[in-house]
Amino acid sequence: MNAPRTHIQKPELWQFPMNYPMSIIGNEGEHDSLRQEVALILAEIFPDFDMASVEVRPSKTGRFHALRVNLYLQNADEVNRLYTALDKAKTVKTVV
């Protein structure tokens, strides 16, 4: 049985603990609600995460915004929970 697409597909390539930078790109017009929804997700999975460290970057046209975060991941479960929650988030377009 295959793992869900939001779960780590090749665990042997991950070395924990690790710093993990990512960009969370919001749907058009979702700037404020994107930040709020992502803050709730991060607070649940990473209670010590400092939301003040999040960089907000608009696209060249200003239609989309990306949240740049640097997470400290300790295990695969955190990764799987994070990507599952972001995949379900209404304000998130994609994660890179």
Task: Write out the CATH class of domain 17-95.
Answer: alpha beta
Contact criterion met (CB below 8 Å) for 93 and 25: yes
DSSP line for 23-49: EEEEPTT-HHHHHHHHHHHHHHH-TT-
pLDDT 10s digits, 24-72: 999 998 888 999 999 999 999 999 999 999 999 999 998 899 999 999 9
Q: Which of 9, 81, 4 is nearest to 46 (CA)?
A: 81
Q: Where are the domains of the chain?
A: 17-95
Q: Indicate the residue type of 25.
A: I
Strand order in the sheet with 55-58: 55-58, 65-73, 18-26, 92-95
| pTM score | 0.89
